[in-house]
Amino acid sequence: MSAAPDAEDVARRLAEVRAKRGYLLPHHGLLAIAAPSVLAGYDATYTALTLTPRSLHERPKEFVWLGVLVACDEAIATHHIAKFRAAGGTDAEIELAVRLAAFAEGAQRFAFAADKWQRHLPAYDRTRAYRAALAGLTADAGVPRGWIEMALAAIHTTRKAWWELAEHIRGAYAAGVPEIELAEAISYAMFPGSIPNFVDACGVWQGMIARGELPASPAFALWGAAAAEQRGFDGM
C-alpha cells in the first residue's frame, strides 16, 4: 500500500507553484498530492513553453495564444488577456483573434463546395475562395500579416485541419515569418489543443519541406530530410 502524501510537502509544492505563477489551477493540486514528479516535469515544460521568452515578442505571442484559447473553448486561461493588454494589445486585436477562431471553425465549408459541388462549379478554387474570405475578414485588422498566418496555423493545429495548416505554413513563409517564430506559434497549440495534434502538425510541416514545397533554411531542410526515417513510426 502506498504511503499517504505528507501534508507539509503538498503545501510546499502548492506554495511554490502559486508563487511562480500567481495562481493555482485544479490539476496543480492533484499532481502535487498524487504525482509530484509529474508536477515538476509539467511545470518545467510549461515554463519553457510559454513563460520563458523565446523568439516571438510578447504581443504577437499572446495574440496567437488568444486565438488558440478561443478555438479550444478554453475559458480558464484568462491571464493571457491581461498579458496581451500589458504588451500593448488592443480590444480590437482581441476581437480579431476571436474572428480568426470563428473563421477556422467554418473553414471546411470551402472544402465542401470544392468536393461536393465540383460538377456544378468546375471553376471553384478552394484556395482562392478561402483566401478571399480571409482577406475580407481581416481587411481592417491593422496587424501584420504574419500574426494572422501564425495564429491560424496554431488554431488549425488544434482542429486537425491539415489542409488549412499547410496553407498557413505557406502563408507564413510568404509573409516573411522566421521559421523559428512559426515553430513557436504552433507549439502553443500543444497543451490546450493536445500533444498528438501538435505531433501531426509537425509532420505536416516536415512533409512539406521534404517534398520541396517550402524555401526552408538549412537547419529546417535537415529536419525535412529526416522525414523518410520516420515513415511507419507509430510511437510517441
Distance CA 16, CA 197 (A): 31
Q: pLDDT confidence of 58, banded at 50, 70, 90?
A: very high
- Between 195-199, 201-205, 223-227, the lowest mean confidence (pLDDT) is in 223-227
Q: Span 62-88, mean pLDDT?
A: 95
pLDDT in tens, 172-197: 999 999 999 999 999 999 988 899 99
Hey, what's the cell of 77? Answer: 486561461
1-5, 125-129, 139-143 — most confident range:
125-129
Query: Residue 172: its pLDDT value, please?
Result: 98
Q: Span 97-115, mean pLDDT?
A: 95
Distance CA 17, CA 38 (A): 13
Q: Is the pLDDT of residue 231 over 80?
A: no
Query: Residue 233: its pLDDT value, please?
Result: 47
Grid cell 518545467 is found at 44
Grid cell 531542410 is found at 221
Distances from the Cα of 228 to the Cαs of 165, 206, 207, in angstroms? 21, 10, 9
139 vs 50 pLDDT, higher one: 139
What global pTM score does this model have? 0.89
pLDDT in tens, 24-40: 778 887 888 888 888 88
Distance CA 94, CA 84 (A): 9
H or E segment and range at residue 35: none
Query: Residue 7: its pLDDT value, please?
Result: 81
Distance CA 139, CA 66 (A): 20
Distance CA 162, CA 108 (A): 11
Q: Quick count: other Cβ atoms within 10 Å of Cβ 119?
A: 6
Query: Residue 183: its pLDDT value, please?
Result: 97
Spatial CB neighbours of 205, under 8 Å, sequence gap ≥ 6:
165, 169, 186
Q: Span 43-59, mean pLDDT?
A: 89
Q: Is the pLDDT of residue 235 over 80?
A: no
Structural domain boundaries in the chain = 1-52, 53-230
- CA-wise closest residue to 159 among 126, 184, 179, 186: 186
170: Cα separation from own chain's centroid: 16
Distance CA 61, CA 147 (A): 9
Distance CA 56, CA 85 (A): 16
**Architecture per CATH, 53-230:** Up-down Bundle (1.20)
Mean pLDDT, rounded, of the chain: 91
Identity (one letter) of the amino acid at 150?
A: M
Contact 188, 48 (CB under 8 A): no
